Structure 1
């Protein structure tokens, strides 16, 4: 049965893929976005569908609609964008969560929070299970995002305890794919652009820090599965690819796949940059029967094709 679904941040990288999936499944979808990092072109292929509408709105202000489900994705996710206006970033995470939770409470909608692996900070436990409380600097340059997302999780759990709201929380690890902003400072898009243009590939630190890279299609499947779970299961649930790579390995793989002449240069590591990041996805396997199926090389080839086809420089 078709549902009426609100996606805040729906014109962003993840949000636009989610809107596409939900529309194609026959749901009525409202895409909410202020277009700070989202873009209309990300959802232009959906304009004209009778079950899709797009609304310019900032989630720090209340929004009213009659909906069955809400996916709360609104927040800049790359360091360049969330550090550009850190106070606004915290407002988006905290006020945005409050306003979406308030809407869910009024209309008794089920609501999912797109949280992040950044809630684990620079982890001292590896890989990171959901039970780990994290190692986060509360006053650093990344805190606006890290602590904003942690506070949003707190609000979701308190609305659950205080108002019996039907909530879901997913913690998203590094995700990549088509429609990523080209110059947002995230490592996969950075390396691909540099390689395609035969520019030097810039690695911060010695390149031995690790990340786990999840293709966007796997994440979208996991989020929809999470929303469809029984009401007594709230999460949080890690969503990421547990196959771990060093940043140096990623750069070398991208150079090979693009036949690039790029050389690698090493620059100082940014403050509070995590040394390792890898999800424990045991809970997602158990509760959602979910795990990533698209491995790094396959996903990178799709993203390289997208950047090449769209002449992204």
Structure 2
């Protein structure tokens, strides 16, 4: 596996675990027959996963580009906007191809021009796949403006608080694209408050680690309690972000505390390193299993489908990692598409 000494291994672990949770989420949608169990899986237990991807993207943008704004705002703007545009193009091409080839199991709609325009403005929802790519793409395009806003005024935190409050309190329907952008801005805000140096200082002592662990446990417990009691729904942005921030922090701090050295940790970090590719691959693998099951007229359990797809995903990513590390051509293609 490629190892970069500058990478945050705990963050890679969290991203890899999110890949597995997203795989679990989509496996349930295709292979779980129990509607009540599917509701608990999708709407309660794993409802935070999609927003966590964009939240972590926002955090990484603040950590990696926050200081560059002072010296190279033009370079940072071009890189972020170009990368965001690439993700939007990848999202569009994938969905046009899926609709044209009728690959999406059970989808009978048409991904025509009006649908594309509506999706680009509002969000994909159930009509398209890979909606997180669209959310991250839009966020990266908007990110330079908010980096500049924070650099010049320091008002980003207030902007995010006001935006989140309006989206949570006012009885309006927040478009999925805007919802994901707000998740990214929340991550960016945290990145400005807690950069890598600050996290290193906070996690250096057992007392501080314990406090962070307790805070994240309380936040996660509150989030799930509100959802189980139906006091709020996943449509409440504040409750949703509470779950995203608390659970991501809990996973991150737990890994920093335990510092595991095992195959599970290594494979999770490998998936985390290629998380965006894994996000696309896992859908293709699941659809392949679903079509094979339909062709052979057999029934596959949720557990078997999840285990099989996870093994296939790890094998593909391991092979891809070897190709990228040993062949410059693969490295250049990967870098151009996802960097």
TM-score (normalised: structure 1): 0.28
After TM superposition, the score normalised by the length of structure 2 is 0.27
The structure that has the greater radius of gyration is 2
Looking at secondary structure, tell me which structure has more strand per residue: 1
Comparing both chains, which one has the higher relative contact order based on Cα–Cα distances under 8 Å and sequence gaps of 6 or more? Answer: 2
